[in-house]
Structure 1
Amino acid sequence: MRLGDERESSNIEDRRGQGGGSRVPVRIGGIGGVILVLGALYFGVDPQLVLNLLNGAQSSGDTAPVASQAPAAGDDAGKVFIARVLASTEDVWTSYFQAMGQTYHAPHLVLFTDGVQSACGFAQTSSGPFYCPADQKVYLDLGFFRELRDRLGAGGDFAQAYVVAHEVGHHVQNELGIMSRTDRQRRAGLTDDGPAGLSVRTELQADCFAGVWAKRADDAKKILQSGDIEQGLNAAAAVGDDRLQKETQGYVVPDSFTHGTSAQRAGWFRRGLQSGDVKQCDTFGAPSL
């Protein structure tokens, strides 16, 4: 990616080395308490299981303390890269909202190590990157990218950018009122999980929004280089529910899907990347995903 001359976002909160704070359990249910977890499935773990473990540890009081660590030597370069990717998403989405006569309120991105307290509750690194709609912040442990590269074979700077853009995509959903609408639908009893549930449609739309960002950023500043698109598609496919379930348990259970298959994730990311059009990302209205 060509980001060397781009500005760095000022919306970075560096909490690395500060520990995780008090262990208020992650809340699930309302829009103010839903964490849209991307990372749990990257690690081959059902997000609900991760959150149950976190909540159970809180209840039992036997959670091990979070270690307070200083940033690793190479993390400053990682921070600069993430700050530039975040700035690029700010430019793209600010322009998009302005064209609609609206104002885009950019999210903050919190860097942490080991564990972090968000307005949605406490989360550990094992939960992966996530967006908390209650405080409109993206949370990321840079060490996650080593897992993405080494465990899932999805390395490269654009693979990392895809992860950030996906989480920012959730913020765009929040800004557009999509999260509020899906929360009302959940309360009305619409199916959340499963191959065509609200959760899968939400995640696939965030993938598509990530592609829209990449297309528009490249049109404006030619940020993409040879191999970048392949990195992004590889990262999207690497975290499909079917692939992760096959790797971790040897079989696939479509009714437990929360993020979509490898083909769906890569396909919706590609759709956004090819069109650069948010209207092409209507996963909720799509008869087929």
Structure 2
Amino acid sequence: MDWRGRRGSHNIEDRRGTSIGRAGGVGGVGVIAVLLLGYFLGIDVTPLLDQGGGQTVTRNEITPADEEAADFVSVTLADTEEVWAEVFRDQVEGAYRPVTLVLFKGATQSPCGGASGATGPFYCPTDQKVYLDTDFFTTMERQLGAGGDFASAYVVAHEVAHHVQHELGILARANEVRAQASETESNRISVMIELQADCYSGIWARHAEAQFGSIEPGDLEEAVNAARQIGDDTLQRNAGRRPMPHTFTHGTSEQRARWFERGYETGALEQCDTFAARQL
């Protein structure tokens, strides 16, 4: 991905200098087990880490690698701003309002709960911000087998896509239904939300290629591989568990890759309606 030297976004809230966490709580091997639980099941395990401790504030050292990752995220976010502004002009009656991305290192707080390495990147509709610890990119490469700068760009684009869903009113409606549904039905709706975000990520990739010429050979393969590596079935299997479809919250590897490719191939919001799809 050709990103160096290009415009960055101003919609970055940088909290990397300070980590806000909890003292006490789970320690040692217990921490590792809880973190894996969060990664593989896609849930916020911060409350488990917080048990028995008070709040702590840690001053973080910002390394050159941290700065490069932040620059990369800033450029990628700027690309999403331009792409979605154009898509909204062409396909939606209304203007796109860009999302704010919170960069943190270690842990921070959000209205949707604690943000840490255990949660992974996420979008919080309450304050309409994306929360991202760039160390997750290292986790993707070393633990999940999803390396490459465009794989990391896909992660950013996916979380921004949740903001697009919020802007379109989709996310609020879906979450209202989820709140009144059974656990199995709620999970099924969650899968629809996540697959649509994957499809929107594909739309972003298509337009980024056309507008900026930033996509290089092999980039799309990196994004599709990332989508496959973080499918619910693959994560559960890699965790030594038998895949249980009724617990899926993000979709299978095949589904995630296919919906990303659908967005890339069509570039159309209407083609990403997972809620009306006969088959996910």
Deviation at 1:275, TM superposition (A): 1.0
1:60-92 deviation digits (Å, cap 9, x = unpaired): 433684643122221111111110000000001
1:169-200 deviation digits (Å, cap 9, x = unpaired): 0000000000111122224436111xxx1000
Count of aligned pairs: 266
Please report the RMSD computed on the Cα atoms of aligned residues, expressed in angstroms: 2.1
| 2: CA distance, partners of 1:186 / 1:41 | 25
C-alpha contact 1:42 1:128 (8 A) present in aligned 2:
no
2:221 is matched with: 230
* Structure 2 counterpart of 1:238, one-letter code: Q
* Structure 2 counterpart of 1:114, one-letter code: G
Q: Is the partner of 1:45 in helix, strand or coil? A: helix
C-alpha contact 1:213 1:273 (8 A) present in aligned 2:
yes
Structure 1 residues 178 and 22, CA gap change in structure 2 (3 angstroms): farther
1:61 is matched with: 52
2:3 is matched with: 3
C-alpha contact 1:169 1:209 (8 A) present in aligned 2:
yes
C-alpha contact 1:204 1:268 (8 A) present in aligned 2:
yes
C-alpha contact 1:211 1:273 (8 A) present in aligned 2:
yes
1:193-227 deviation digits (Å, cap 9, x = unpaired): 1xxx1000000000000000010111122111100
Deviation at 1:13, TM superposition (A): 1.1
Correspondence list, 1:123-162, <5 A: 123-162=115-154
State percent identity of aligned pairs: 45
* Residue 46 (1) aligns with residue 41 (2): yes
2:93 to 90, 101, 115: 101
* Residue 116 (1) aligns with residue 108 (2): yes
2:71 to 74, 80, 92: 80
| 2: CA distance, partners of 1:164 / 1:263 | 20
Structure 1 residues 41 and 93, CA gap change in structure 2 (3 angstroms): farther
1:192 is matched with: 186
Deviation at 1:115, TM superposition (A): 0.7
Structure 1 residues 101 and 224, CA gap change in structure 2 (3 angstroms): same
1:16 is matched with: 16
Q: Is the partner of 1:162 in helix, strand or coil? A: helix
Stretches of structure 1 lacking an aligned partner (at least 5 in a row): 24-39
* Structure 2 counterpart of 1:155, one-letter code: G
| 2: CA distance, partners of 1:2 / 1:279 | 29
| 2: CA distance, partners of 1:152 / 1:172 | 26
1:275 is matched with: 266
* Residue 207 (1) aligns with residue 198 (2): yes
1:36 is matched with: none
Greater displacement, 93-102 / 128-137: 93-102
1:235-267 deviation digits (Å, cap 9, x = unpaired): 000000001101102311111000000000000
Q: Is the partner of 2:115 in helix, strand or coil? A: strand
Q: Is the partner of 1:117 in helix, strand or coil? A: strand
1:37 is matched with: none
Deviation at 1:102, TM superposition (A): 0.7
TM-score, normalised to structure 2, is 0.89
Structure 1 residues 161 and 41, CA gap change in structure 2 (3 angstroms): farther
C-alpha contact 2:80 2:204 (8 A) present in aligned 1:
yes
C-alpha contact 1:272 1:280 (8 A) present in aligned 2:
yes
| 2: CA distance, partners of 1:172 / 1:181 | 13
Q: Is the partner of 1:74 in helix, strand or coil? A: helix
2:27 is matched with: none
| 2: CA distance, partners of 1:240 / 1:80 | 28
1:31 is matched with: none
Q: Is the partner of 1:19 in helix, strand or coil? A: strand
| 1: CA distance, partners of 2:148 / 2:18 | 28
| 2: CA distance, partners of 1:66 / 1:153 | 32
* Structure 1 counterpart of 2:42, one-letter code: P
Stretches of structure 2 lacking an aligned partner (at least 5 in a row): 24-34
